[in-house]
Amino acid sequence: MTNDLIHATAAELAAKIHSGEVTSVEVTQAHLDRIAETDGKVNAFLHVDTQGALAQARRVDEAVKAGEQVSPLAGVPLALKDVMTTEGVPTTVGSKILEGWLPPYDATVTRKLKEAGVVILGKTNMDEFAMGSSTENSAYGPTHNPWDLDRIPGGSGGGSSAALAALQAPLAIGTDTGGSIRQPGAVTGTVGVKPTYGGVSRYGLVAFSSSLDQAGPCARTVLDAALLHEVIAGYDHMDSTSINAPVPPVVAAAREGLSGDLSGLRIGVVTQFSGEGYQQGVLRSFEAAVSQLKELGAEIADVSCPSFDYALPAYYLIAPSECSSNLARFDAMRYGLRVGDDGTRSTEEVMSLTREAGFGPEVKRRIMIGTYALSSGYYDAYYGSAQKVRTLITQDFAKAFENFDVLISPTTPTTAFKIGERANDPMAMYKADLCTIPANLAGTPAMSVPSGLSDEDGLPVGLQIMAPALQDHRMYRVAAAYEAARGAFGGPSL
Amino acid sequence: MPSISRDEVAHLAKLARLAVTEDELDLFAGQLDVILQSVASVGDIATADIPPTSHAVPLTNVFREDVVRPSLGQQQALSGAPEAEDGRFRVPRILGEEA
């Protein structure tokens, strides 16, 4: 029974809970037990909220028992990335600077999940302030990839994706600034979606790079991701960059895709994302996916987006610049850590000592890169030029979408690398996000769907699907059709 | 592009309010130099005629009616404060002794 419950999809669990076949408490307890059994090895969770989860499960069970209409994912458990504030439940962002902080309010995403009856199991591990591609930058130790515990689960949302792969939760929330949902999805064999920028509210999402940050759904199937997408998306007056437009019909698109027909759909293969630096097993998996999409009726051709070669450098100027400004709020005065306040030191000295003690090396590096890139004398050459590259990338997307409905590429150049392998080489680490960054810079939606296992190392590979802004449903349709054609590819043994 | 020296890193750390250690200065000077050399390639294609993009979505001011809405109370707002006193955030001295 427990085994069935942790293997089930969110859609299956919701159906069973709503029909009264099982209770949400049983489902929630099965996942809490799984976390207790496996998280000593995986370290996906920073905080497990057993009481809060069971209380929410009981509320849903009572509503079902009373015959009330409940929302589509009511009673289904979820792992929430520790970047979203949760009232009264610890929110650390993977940083020592917020250790022990209990937020006084819920993020909009948190509130929507609660209102939809989703059961929040706890908060998942992440690279500190979402800066990283491996979850090794967490101040609370790395998360291990359930497929191979010596390897990284991707980052920054490695905790959320590892929790899915380890069957600790059927649903999770991530945030994607340069690939932090899609890259962990790819290397753990799970689905990860970055919606159109502004599609999901950023209120209560601890900011890293505000013009790029976007929360999105993570799951083991495309339909589950779509169901979660519709729960968390929508206009929010608390976020000035929230888009005031209807939520794209992603659930309908995922169901339509399951029919397996992509006749007439035009798919562009981005030629910039192959060649040197790409693992052969990843490229072969990608080619196999292209063949399957053709068999489904899609018309596939190459498309060149030359400016994408400059996306990585542009990103590593824009994101640090915004972070150096955003993280100025951690000043040791209103919340979080305070170090060195012995009555003799000035406010400025206390700030500097606190930030030195509270931030890890990657956060410090990015704050200083951003400070440099924004300083007078260097602004035009660095930040200004990066903003122009952003314009070129947006134009390349627009041109490509004149001829293609969606674009595809591998999600990552390689499968999961070993923990520690790139820890001392920031540039090597940054390259894990090579294929995912352009969509963040353009604000367009993109997702990763598993394309099976690499024939070299038996590790998961991801297929990235990109669509124009507000056309999120297009990629869900393609992903669902591909997923059905691809079939099962097994799972990790833990 | 100028390479970045240990002294410059110390200056950046000061601007960013980071009391970095001597060891970190050595580490970061090397790493920041490599990163900045790598990202400087944006200058290769960023010609004068290209308008900059600061945000993927065109931003406009969002207005709302000036009405009172529920918000955090004083106690909640102070709940995470490192130190509070008399319903206020208590901070270290911000002026010199002579002030």
Residues in B closer than 8 angstroms to A394, CB to CB, are: 53, 56
pLDDT tens-digit series, residues A362-404: 999 999 999 999 998 899 999 999 999 999 999 999 999 999 9
* Residue A383, in any domain of the structure: no
Handedness of CA A333, A176, B47, A426 (dihedral sign): positive
pTM of the model: 0.97
CA closest to A439 among chain B residues: B56
Q: Is A325 on the interface with B (CB under 8 A)?
A: no
Mutate to test the interface with A, among B6, B18, B44 (most CBs of A within 10 A): B18
* Residue A231, in any domain of the structure: yes
CA closest to A343 among chain B residues: B92
- Is the pLDDT at B98 greater than 60? The verdict is no
Q: B5 or A116: which carries more pLDDT confidence?
A: A116
Residue-level pLDDT at A357:
98
CA closest to A346 among chain B residues: B93
* Residue A313, in any domain of the structure: no
Shortest CA distance to A163 belongs to which of A42, A262, A268, A62?
A: A42
Which of A:388-407 have CB within 8 Å of B? 388-392, 394
pLDDT band of B96, cuts 50, 70, 90: low
Mutate to test the interface with B, among A338, A389, A429 (most CBs of B within 10 A): A389
How far apart are the C-alpha atoms of A222 and A250, rounded to whole Å?
A: 10
Residues in B closer than 8 angstroms to A346, CB to CB, are: 92-94
Q: Which of A118-132, A213-227, A238-252, B51-65 comes out lowest in average pLDDT?
A: B51-65
Q: Do B81 and A389 touch (CB under 8 A)?
A: no
Q: Do B39 and A313 touch (CB under 8 A)?
A: yes
Indicate the average pLDDT of chain A.
Answer: 97
Residues in B closer than 8 angstroms to A176, CB to CB, are: none
Residue-level pLDDT at A20:
97
| Partner-chain residue, chosen from A314, A324, A347, that has the shortest CB–CB distance to B42 | A314
| Partner-chain residue, chosen from A241, A331, A372, that has the shortest CB–CB distance to B59 | A241
Residues of A with catalytic roles: 81, 156, 180
- Is the pLDDT at A253 greater than 70? The verdict is yes
Q: Do A394 and B56 touch (CB under 8 A)?
A: yes
How many interface pairs between A and B have CB atoms less than 8 angstroms apart?
A: 179
Q: Where do the H-state alpha helices sit in chain B?
A: 6-15, 22-39, 42-45, 74-77
Q: Do A385 and B46 touch (CB under 8 A)?
A: yes
Calculate how close chain B gets to A382, using CA atoms only, in Å.
7
Q: Is A346 on the interface with B (CB under 8 A)?
A: yes
Residue-level pLDDT at B3:
77
* Residue A356, in any domain of the structure: no
- Is the pLDDT at A469 greater than 50? The verdict is yes
pLDDT tens-digit series, residues A409-439: 999 999 999 999 998 898 889 999 999 999 9
Residue-level pLDDT at B99:
44
| CA–CA distances in Å: residue A185 to residues A40, A160, A414, A420, B64 | 21, 9, 13, 20, 38
Residues in B closer than 8 angstroms to A353, CB to CB, are: 19
pLDDT tens-digit series, residues A295-317: 999 999 999 999 999 999 999 99
Q: Do A317 and B93 touch (CB under 8 A)?
A: no
- Is the pLDDT at A293 greater than 50? The verdict is yes
| CA–CA distances in Å: residue A325 to residues A45, A131, A311, B52, B64 | 29, 15, 21, 19, 26
Contact partners, residue A181, CB within 8 Å, separation at least 6: A157, A160, A174, A175, A192, A193, A194, A216, A218, A448
Residues in B closer than 8 angstroms to A387, CB to CB, are: 52-54
pLDDT tens-digit series, residues A162-210: 999 999 999 999 999 999 999 999 999 999 999 999 999 999 999 999 9
* Residue A203, in any domain of the structure: yes
Contact partners, residue A447, CB within 8 Å, separation at least 6: A182, A185, A191, A192, A193, A194, A225, A464, A465, A475, A476, A479
Q: Kindly report the length of chain B.
A: 99
Q: Do B59 and A240 touch (CB under 8 A)?
A: yes
* Residue A55, in any domain of the structure: yes
| Partner-chain residue, chosen from A371, A375, A394, that has the shortest CB–CB distance to B53 | A394
Residues in A closer than 8 angstroms to B23, CB to CB, are: none
Q: Is A105 on the interface with B (CB under 8 A)?
A: yes
CATH number, domain of A147, equals 3.90.1300.10
Domain range annotation of chain B: 6-44
pLDDT tens-digit series, residues A335-345: 999 999 999 99
CA closest to B36 among chain A residues: A369
pLDDT band of A451, cuts 50, 70, 90: very high
Contact partners, residue B72, CB within 8 Å, separation at least 6: A104, A105
Q: Do A243 and B57 touch (CB under 8 A)?
A: yes
- Is the pLDDT at B97 greater than 60? The verdict is no
The pLDDT of A324-328, averaged and rounded, is: 97
The total number of structural domains that make up chain A: 1
Residue-level pLDDT at B93:
84
- Is the pLDDT at B2 greater than 80? The verdict is no
The pLDDT of A33-59, averaged and rounded, is: 98
pLDDT tens-digit series, residues A111-131: 999 999 999 999 999 999 999
ipTM: 0.93
Residues in A closer than 8 angstroms to B64, CB to CB, are: 237
Mutate to test the interface with A, among B17, B34, B72 (most CBs of A within 10 A): B17
Residues in A closer than 8 angstroms to B94, CB to CB, are: 346-347
| Partner-chain residue, chosen from A317, A361, A368, that has the shortest CB–CB distance to B39 | A317
Helices B6-15, A361-373: axis angle to 10 degrees equals 90
Q: Kindly report the length of chain A.
A: 494
pLDDT tens-digit series, residues B50-86: 999 999 887 788 888 899 988 899 999 999 999 999 9
Domain that holds residue A473: 2-305+402-486
